[in-house]
Chains A and B, each alone.
Chain A
């Protein structure tokens, strides 16, 4: 992301983006809730396919709508998107309509033939999810055998000469000490490393407190990202910019704002449109692509998105000198930990949410509105280390 502006007369770009755009800059589209894994931090509580899933024709229609809106690319995920029998049809149709595809997969179904097919396509990025350098660290979160499956998929992509695929890591207190090793692994593959923030969404609502980074680890990540500008972050760590007092005011690269309903959103497998991938909850449901007017109408007219584009109150953060840098953090993370949306993020580096978080009783924080987990499939977090 780069900004080019010959004259600084207009309001800052970020202020304009907060007011929303006619179409999202990018959006996440979960193609299915079906998944062979049962990761303990799954944002969408995936496992079982929802029978109301969009049909192939409906998916093509969504692609057409995105193409008309000049949405440049879509982040496809799930669930495990490759479990859809029409997965390649949807991807190829999207690419043919100039809507680039970045898709996330656990790699289980990415065999040699799939890797060759993917390597033959333009406008396509593949992102393999991995949450540990070794099977012990990874499989405690993503399930037994998932580390080996991800590594096999990477080997297939490399063998097929795919080029620069992405390796995507959710930072937890158990794996964050391995950042240098991930980087070395990505470099070995000629891949690009992407690290993102853990959210208490989906099944993460139950694992967040065991997996979230310590404050020392957050500080370590902040400086590590600044030292590695070629590592992607999905702009997900902007709450850490409150540490910019240690860098002479230098922030992490990125837009530094919550884009929910303003520049990003989520389309779920049944066509429901949520403000962002981290808030699959009825409170953040804006509409459905099957409604009259389709996606564009939901994006432009929905009451929820209109409200999210109004100036937001800094609330309890208003008196904090870091608010301009951290923007109060992530809406979804506050919501699912039971904190007020106009106060500090639970991972506030100044600890401003610690008392409020400790005071929230059992069962008070909202639960995700849906659970697609397969019965008995959740993996225990074996590495629990309380702060």
Chain B
């Protein structure tokens, strides 16, 4: 069985959003393999050896679209309905915490339409 590198959230724990800045531009870490699955995707971080389950295809679409937007917030606004926004901010913060997504360093290139 896969080794579990992190504990499941303890009852009563609040999701860590510290360190995640929705106004910054993010991308899928190049050190992460993302494997599409019926439930969403399986992400594996080759440096930390952490296995992360993305349990929503919408979340996978968002992660893949991150680098195309000037900020994580813009990517969320573009990908999901407003009422689900906060859930996706929390999910992205969790993915940033585990290193699956990371701040994008290169400037966003404007592609002609």
Contact = CB atoms under 8 A, between A and B. Distances in A.
A234 to B, nearest CB: 5
Chain A interface helix/strand/loop/mixed: loop
Interface in B28-79: 33, 35, 37-40, 42, 44, 46, 49-56, 58-59
A6 B88 contact: yes
Contact of B8 (A21, A22, A100, A253): A253
Contacts of A26: 1-2
Contacts, number: 118
B30 to A, nearest CB: 12
B7 A229 contact: yes
Interface size bracket, A side: 35 or more
A45 B37 CA distance: 35
B53 A2 contact: yes
Interface in B57-113: 58-59, 84, 87-88, 90-91, 94-95, 98
A254 interface: yes
Contact of B33 (A4, A72, A263): A72
B14 interface: no
Q: Which of B39, B46, B54 has the most C-beta atoms of chain A within 10 angstroms of its own C-beta? A: B39
Interface in A26-75: 26, 70, 72-73
Contact of A4 (B3, B35, B94): B94
A250 interface: yes
A73 B59 contact: no
A127 to B, nearest CB: 10
Q: Which 7 A-B pairs have the closest CB atoms?
A: A5-B55, A72-B44, A6-B87, A235-B1, A232-B3, A70-B35, A6-B91
